[in-house]
């Protein structure tokens, strides 16, 4: 399982959104459950719009993650994971 957190104004607020995803399908479910999508302010997110790539490949002792990967949707930052999502 991979940890995911949404991008927020502060790390404290972001960590309140932390959840675990098993794969890209589950990550898509989480992204599409966000208020922006769920309330219809933007269309459902499709797999080809999501990119997960290395961001900070050193331990982050503040949150106990060994590495941080960035999650973008169509080029916009939506969140971070603690590892690759396949």
Q: What is the pLDDT of residues 32-72, one digit of tens each?
A: 999 999 999 999 999 999 999 999 999 999 999 999 999 99
**Entry pTM:** 0.95
The closest of 48, 56, 55 to 73, measured between CA atoms, is 48
Residue 13: band (very low, low, confident or very high) from pLDDT cuts 50, 70, 90: very high
In this prediction, residues 11-27 reach a mean pLDDT of: 98
Q: To the nearest whole percent, how much of the chain has pLDDT over 90?
A: 100
Can you give the pLDDT at residue 75? 97
């Amino acid at each position: 399982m991979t940890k995911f957190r949404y991008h927020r104004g502060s790390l404290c607020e972001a960590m309140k959104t932390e959840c675990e995803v098993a794969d890209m399908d589950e990550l898509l479910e989480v992204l599409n459950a966000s208020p922006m999508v769920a309330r219809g302010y933007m269309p459902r997110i499709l797999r080809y719009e999501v990119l997960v790539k290395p961001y900070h490949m050193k331990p982050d002792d503040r949150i106990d993650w060994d590495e941080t990967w960035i999650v973008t949707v169509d080029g916009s930052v939506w969140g971070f994971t603690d590892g690759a999502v396949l």
